[in-house]
Amino acid sequence: MNPAVNAYKTGWRRALIETRISLATPSEVVGIVFPLALAVTVLLFLRGVDVDDSPVSLGSMNMPSLIGMMIVWGGALGVLSTMLLDRTNGTMLRAKSMPGGMTGYLVGKLGMTALVTAFNVVVLLVVGLVFFDGVEFGSPDRWLLFLAVLALGLVATIPLGAVLGALFDNPSSMALVMMPFMGLVAISGIFYPVTALPEWLQVIGQVFPTYWTGLGMRHALLPDSAVAVEIGGDWRTLTMFIVLAAWAVASLAFAPKLLSRMARRESGSTMTARREKMQQNWG
């Protein structure tokens, strides 16, 4: 069998195994479910809050946005957190020592992240359809739009997580990434209409995938009249796909080069130094 094909098959099997383990491990399930449950609980209290010019409540409007945010966070931060841990505990170094090991490792991690994120999105979708008035698929083409935004969002953000994982090498670096991500959520129209922000913040928010995945999910799941609170009163579907596709192309272009450079630099000495630094930081 072709070594490259074998590495990809091995990686996909690894993705399926790690996904099953992740969803069957109580601590990991709690880590996934708790923040989602907290966010959904907050949105349930917002079901009675009206938004000017919107046919649905603030809670219902934010539910699709939360699904869009989950795609970005699950994709980018999911890969990043896994790679940071694996660079410290030696998993990545062991993968490097085997023929085709790095390819299989990366395919496994990217596949597992995509599957777990998709599972979380489906759970949120079911909750939204059941408990939030106005959140529904108004026509068959909305299903296609939902699946397209989910797929393109994952393609755009999972390689981005790999890029970040290649640039940062210590779990303590996670905080350096989380803060900007939280700031982007605040200006991306996830929890309130982006049109309520100053125009310069609207411009910054529209540069990144978080705003566009949220917009795509609102288009797929909310009534057409909900577009009144969006920028320009338009769903801007074509622009959404162009921006997400641009992020996907850029991430896919940079990820292999940065990951290759990272793999060359991985060694027993760098892993030991990384562990010692982490122990010093944690006291």
**How many Cβ atoms sit within 10 Å of the Cβ of residue 131?**
15
What's the pLDDT score for residue 222?
93
**How many Cβ atoms sit within 10 Å of the Cβ of residue 78?**
22
What's the pLDDT score for residue 242?
97
**How many Cβ atoms sit within 10 Å of the Cβ of residue 6?**
14
Give the phi and the psi of residue 57 in degrees, each rounded to 5: -70, 170
What's the pLDDT score for residue 23?
84
Give pairs for 198-204: CB < 8 Å, separation 24+: 202/231
Q: Could you tell me which residue, 83 or 3, shows the higher pLDDT?
A: 83
Q: Could you tell me which residue, 168 or 222, shows the higher pLDDT?
A: 222
- Nearest-CA neighbor of 107 among 16, 3, 209, 2? 16
The arithmetic mean of pLDDT across residues 201-228, rounded, is 94
- 207 pLDDT more than 80: yes
Of 20-29, 191-200, 219-228, which gets the smallest average pLDDT? 20-29
- 283 pLDDT more than 70: no
Q: Residue 282 — very low, low, confident or very high, per pLDDT cuts 50/70/90?
A: low
Give pairs for 251-257: CB < 8 Å, separation 24+: 251/156, 251/157, 251/158, 251/159, 251/160, 251/162, 251/163, 252/155, 252/159, 254/159, 254/163, 255/159, 255/160, 255/162, 255/163, 255/166
Report how far residue 161's alpha carbon sits from residue 167's, in angstroms, rounded to the nearest whole number.
Answer: 10
Which tokens is 97 given?
């020592």
User: Taking CA 85 as the corner, what is the angle to CA 80 and CA 87, rounded to the nearest 5 degrees?
Assistant: 95
Report how far residue 233's alpha carbon sits from residue 189's, in angstroms, rounded to the nearest whole number.
Answer: 14
Do residues 164 and 80 make contact, with C-beta atoms less than 8 angstroms apart?
A: yes
pLDDT tens for each residue of 231-266: 999 999 999 999 999 999 999 888 888 887 887 777
Beta-bridge partners for 57: 50
Residue written as token pair 């777990």: 116
- 191 pLDDT more than 90: no
What's the pLDDT score for residue 30?
81
- Nearest-CA neighbor of 104 among 12, 17, 185? 12
Do residues 252 and 159 make contact, with C-beta atoms less than 8 angstroms apart?
A: yes
Got the DSSP string for 198-209? Answer: -HHHHHHHTTSH
